[in-house]
Amino acid sequence: MPQAAAVQPEELPLVLTMKHVQEITGLSKPKVYELAHTRGFPVVRFGRALRVPRDAFLRWLNEQTGVQEG
């Protein structure tokens, strides 16, 4: 199982790849792609490439946990 990475949000690139999302969440590759096709997940498509805006991803993640931003 992948290990979730411990990094500060500002250290992440502005646009995340699915590999970044996988490393951040610790989810498997198939699970990350399943998540990317879930309604409400902040994914942007460039042809066949999927990218995730960092700030939108962090907001989405916080919403999933019920955490309110300061």
Supply the pLDDT for residue 67.
65
Supply the pLDDT for residue 70.
57
Going through 1-70 in order, the beta strands assigned E by DSSP cover 15-16, 44-46, 49-53
Q: Are 22 and 29 in contact (CB under 8 A)?
A: yes
Supply the pLDDT for residue 7.
76
Q: What is the mean pLDDT of each run of 10 residues along the chain (70 residues)?
A: 72 96 95 96 96 96 77
Chain CA centroid to CA 64, Å: 12
Give the architecture (CATH level 2) of 13-65.
Answer: Orthogonal Bundle (1.10)
Supply the pLDDT for residue 69.
60
Supply the pLDDT for residue 3.
65
